[in-house]
Amino acid sequence: AACYGFATAATLAANFAASPTLQSIVGECTGGRYSECDPESADWLKNMIAGLFNHLDADSERLTQVITGLRQESEALGPAVRSIHQRYCLVLYEQYGNDIGIVFTYLMNIVETGVGKWFLIDAGVPHCYLQGELMECMVNSDNVVRGGLTPKLKDSATLCQILPYESRQEPAVADGTVLLESEGRRVLEYY
């Protein structure tokens, strides 16, 4: 599973409507009230992201409160009714603890793939890997900038400058083409 691009306005609205915890941080991050938020606005999304980094990530006590709230909301629901974002909140907490990246997943599309499946990530689209074994093939790049869900260096200031603040539909997930199969092993071609 992976996060891919910022979620559509409908997904953002659903995630915020289902979470009093997310609603509570809108004012801290954007200076506005939840009732005034506009998930269709690139400016709102930019302010929300900057606020998450500048206010929430900088205050470990408040970050712990927010992630605890998100976890409790997710745990209160049965597994069958949890949204994909709520499910991964619980999974990621076990791996990363109180990491700002958990909050960011609620703002992004979450894509689940199966064995032999692939999807294309356009250049410049924010993404991260959540669970499972994935392989990324990309052109040479010197612009890996991390914001969460990693023990490596995070550079939120640069990330805020370079992010494209636009919503995206979830990418299409496709099957790889079998080129060779022998003794239970397959060579697949993607794209």
Active site residues: 146
Say what the alpha-carbon torsion angle 119, 123, 124, 130 is, to the nearest 10 degrees. 30
136: number of Cβ within 10 Å: 8
Burial class (CB in 10 A: 0-12, 13-18, 19+), 122: exposed
Burial class (CB in 10 A: 0-12, 13-18, 19+), 179: exposed
What is d(CA 84, CA 105) in angstroms, rounded to the nearest whole number? 10
